[in-house]
Amino acid sequence: MLFKKMAPALLCVALGAGIGAYANSFLFSGDAGSHGKTEATEQGERGERKILYWYDPMYPGTQFDKPGPSPFMDMDLVPRYASEGEGAGIRIDPAQVRNLAVRTQKVERERLVFSRDIPANVEFNDYQLARVQPRAEGFVESARPWAVGDVVAAEEALADITVPGWAADQSEYLLLKAQKADAGLVRGVWERMRLAGIPEKMLRALETTGKVQTRMTVHSPISGVLTAFDVYPGMNVTKGDTVAVVQGANPVWVRADVPERDTHLVAKDKRIRVTVTALPGMAFYANAFTLLPQADRDTRTVPLRLVIDNPDGLLKPGMTATVRLRGADEEQLLVPTSSLISLGEEQRVIVRAPDGSFVPRRVRTLRSSGEKTAVASGVEAGEEVVVTGLFLIDSEANLQGALGRMEREGR
């Protein structure tokens, strides 16, 4: 009787235990169907790419086991897929490529136009140089108010000099003429006066006026700048003394020391451009130039002398200038200079492969000019190289080991 009363209760307990055992087996057993599968396994069964971990592209060395916002930057973490480690290329999520403005340019085969800027100086034109020297001993009666640096015109008076020694020869000449002496004797005295330094103008005046003159006016023989002036009233001068130096300033010379390796850029069929620091925005062009025949043994440079018209006197001797030499190489492979990654003595570029991956390449550079650099090997014409977003590619390359593979494969 007691058993019959307890049977329903025992049945409920047994049924509950069975249900509990089944539930425990269903929930916690490793073979319990789809509820026991990992996210990676589910992705594999659905044909999706397997995610290894999440990371911040700015800090690729730090890994996270789930998606979410980056603790470092104001951006979301991105997944690292297992398939990205295969091959030599670097694969990056297309969204990241767009967000980080990764941009490429094509490798071209063209002539590289380049220029060389060489420091220079504006100088006086030594072809226009005049030294003023008295041709006889005398003394300065008066000096005009000139000083070094003044600009003088041709035939402008500089000083008055008296030469006492000229009086005797002139008096003898006038006496012989008055006595109607032998013509040969008269010509001999005339020649002696000329060799004594009496100017031709004074000799003609002696012939017409019959008056002895011992004072002469010293004039500037050319237009230019007084670079020396040593004349004072009352001072004695002797034959051969330099009392003034005048140098022409139109045209002027511009002198530059060209490195030996760039002398081939100086050609007669080229216009050479000159700029000066004091005149920004203005350019001058040489109408003649000479590459002098001797190189400097110490600096390994060759002097270049340019002749530039200076009618307005804008170019002042002593100004600093820059000479620009231009040239062009034969057709060769050109890459954007911004695409180069310097690693010590080596240069690399990142090439975008047809499948969208990024492949590091070692290149041998030749010459750079502005935004273009010529390379001898490493890329082909038409390939695309990365010019912006290199920091992302570089971090990805190191993370995925592409640079290491490139080293091992001898690329």
What are the pLDDT digits (tens) for 329-341? 778 899 999 999 8
pLDDT at site 16: 46
Q: Please indicate, yes or no, whether the overall pTM of this predicted structure exceeds 0.85.
A: no
Q: Which strands, in side-by-side order, build the sheet including 215-219? A: 215-219, 157-162, 138-143, 236-237
Of 256 and 190, more confident: 256
Ranking 78-82, 277-281, 324-328 by mean pLDDT, the lowest is 78-82
What dihedral do alpha carbons 153, 156, 158, 163 form, nearest 10°? 140
Domain membership of residue 193 as a residue range: 165-213
Asked whether residue 46 falls in the same domain as residue 102, the answer is no
Does a structural domain hold residue 251?
no
Ranking 5-9, 176-180, 222-226 by mean pLDDT, the lowest is 5-9
**Token duo for residue 94:** 């297309």
pLDDT at site 61: 65
Q: How many domains does the chain have?
A: 4
Ranking 30-44, 145-159, 198-212, 254-268 by mean pLDDT, the lowest is 30-44
Q: Which of 197, 213, 229 is the last residue of a domain?
A: 213
Tell me the pLDDT tens digit for each residue of 137-189: 889 989 999 999 999 999 999 999 988 888 888 888 888 888 888 888 888 88
Using alpha carbons, select from 273, 274, 271, 278 the residue that is nearest to residue 316.
278
CATH number at residue 359: 2.40.420.20
pLDDT at site 394: 61
Of 383 and 396, more confident: 383
Does a structural domain hold residue 339?
yes
Instruction: Give yes or no for residue 408 having a pLDDT over 70.
Output: no
Asked whether residue 1 falls in the same domain as residue 60, the answer is no
Does a structural domain hold residue 402?
yes
Ranking 48-52, 381-385, 400-404 by mean pLDDT, the lowest is 400-404
Does a structural domain hold residue 296?
no
Asked whether residue 359 falls in the same domain as residue 404, the answer is yes
Does a structural domain hold residue 142?
no
Of 121 and 34, more confident: 121
Bridge partners of residue 378, in order along the sequence: none
Does a structural domain hold residue 245?
no
Asked whether residue 334 falls in the same domain as residue 404, the answer is yes
Rounded Cα gap, residues 339 and 385, in angstroms: 7
